[in-house]
Structure 1
Amino acid sequence: MITLYSFRRCPYAMRARMALRYSGIALDIVEVSLKAKPAEMLALSSKGTVPVLSVDGRVIDESLEIMRWALAQNDPQDWLLKADPDNGGRIWALIEENDQTFKVHLNRYKYAERYPEQPMEAYRAEGELWLRKLDELLADREYLLADHPSLADVALMPFVRQFAHVDREWFAQTPYQRLQQWLERFLTSDLFTSIMKK
């Protein structure tokens, strides 16, 4: 029995669900109320954050580790880019920059009222540097590192989506048309729409 504790709109849970769906893992998904977290989830992981995967007595409570586990079971389109070792290293560098730096700017932009030290636009401008970098990576292809999605695309997409949705009109008029198209490809994909069903 494989169980994933998830929260539909959490970007970390989204990327875990996409990897599990892509890999064809059969599992039960427990949608968690963040205000009333289930005791069985807290017994598995004292962190109290989603996603949490319970598989054969093992607990994996980091989204990237869940993605790695899923791809170790099945990676039919080579999300790990094993055919190109150089790109393999670039996957993790992009994810680290996204999770450690861009996520900070995203939080401050999205919840600017909690960070009154600067106006919202200042936090947006800091995050926009990342959007520009990603847009430049898409200059020669439809995905960040290859001609097909990689682990980097799927791991970053939920966070770019969240940033874009803070002010959709602003995002739509930015010059990052390649990034807009990349995001739209994911948002309309069978993979993403299937993991976002209520």
Structure 2
Amino acid sequence: MNVNVNDTSRLAILYSLRNCPYAMRARLAIFKAKEPVLLRDLVLSNKPKEMLAASPKGTVPVVVLANNTVIEESVDIMLWALHRADPDDLLHAQQQDALSAMLLLIKDFDDNFKTSLDAYKCAKRYQEDNIGECRVACEQYVQQLEQRLTEHTFLMSNKESLADIALVPFIRQFARVERQWYLQSPYSKVRQWLNSYLQSATFTKVMAKHPLWIDERQDIIFGRN
């Protein structure tokens, strides 16, 4: 059940960084759940003391509930939002073991693809001579997604799922490292899938730029779509 947005004291607070893929996936889930939160955008060089008091690790996203419960991991935030409301059935509630399969896929990408992706981005940034090797390390995971998307419209089935919105911010990063190579790569299904998100009204709203909270101390109600 969603909270009455007229009573902002009962809304959860979301500390977020606009282009962080972990924060992006959290915002996508909150938006899909139509779960209003008080959005506090920040930059990592100037973190609000309120966020650090709630979550000393100092990374985003962080959700602070009205009862002061803190949720610090992006997937946990996604699950919190979608367990409250899931109008698009992203959790595939009626399919046995569907959520477990989604979480396994997400964990594989978080634990392994992300490491390869970071190395790939660094190789491009510092013009290292192993960029091709780093790309190949990423491709084994992108190939998995291409195969899934050959079999059905989304990653798990013909229905959008938690896995889709969890992985799309990271594939977006992959696509931007060597843009021309990516556009000519054999991953046409991945390109189509990614573009369907990047060109959507949902993504535009999730990526909207807001004033930094630390400057104005003005909360933005986000997720009331």
Q: Distance in 2 between matches of 1:46 and 1:99?
A: 22
Give the percent of matched residue pairs that are identical in Structure 1 and Structure 2. 43
CA positional deviation for 1:3: 1.1
Q: Residue type of the partner of 2:87?
A: P
Correspondence for 1:55 among 65, 69, 73: 65
The CA RMSD over aligned residues, in Å, is: 1.6
Paired position in structure 2 for 1:150: 161
In the alignment, structure 1 residue 12 sits paired with structure 2 residue 22: yes
**Does 4-13 or 19-28 show the bigger shift?**
19-28
Summarize deviations over 1:152-187 as a string: whole Å, max 9, x none.
011011000001111111111001100100000011
Q: Secondary structure at the match of 1:137?
A: helix
Distance across 1 between alignment mates of 2:182 and 2:129: 20
Partner of 1:82: 93
Q: How does 1:61-80 map to 2 (within 5 A)?
A: 61-80=72-91
Contact 1:108 1:115 in 2 (8 A): no
The 3-state SS of whatever aligns with 2:13 is strand
1:31 CA displacement: 0.9
Q: Structure 1 unaligned segments of length 5 or more: list them.
A: none
Residue pair 1:3, 1:55 contacting (<8 A) in 2 also? yes
The Cα offsets for residues 50-97 of structure 1, whole Å up to 9 and x where unpaired, read as 001111111111100100100110011111112211332210111011
Query: Greater shift after overlay, 115-124 or 59-68?
Result: 115-124
Call closer, same or farther: CA 1:157–1:113 in 2, change over 3 Å: closer
Stretches of structure 2 that go unaligned for 5 or more consecutive residues are 1-10, 210-225
Comparing 113-122 with 139-148, greater Cα deviation is found at 113-122
SS at match of 1:133: helix
Distance in 1 (CA, whole Å) between partners of 2:130 and 2:151 is: 35
Please state if 1:197 is matched with 2:214: no
Larger Rg: 2
| CA–CA distance in structure 2, aligned partners of residues 118 and 83 of structure 1 | 49
Aligned runs of 1:73-112 on 2, under 5 Å? 73-112=84-123
Residue 111 of structure 1 and its aligned partner are, at CA, apart by 1.2
Which structure 1 residue ranges, 4+ long, deviate > 3 Å from structure 2? 113-118
TM-score by length of 2: 0.84
Aligned residue for 1:175?
A: 186
Structure scoring higher RCO (CA < 8 A, sep ≥ 6) equals 2
- For residue 138 of structure 2, what is the aligned residue in structure 1? 127
Residue in 2 that maps onto 1:137: 148
In the alignment, is the contact (CA less than 8 A) between 1:134 and 1:144 conserved in 2? yes
- Give the Cα separation in 1 of the matches to 2:201 and 2:43: 26
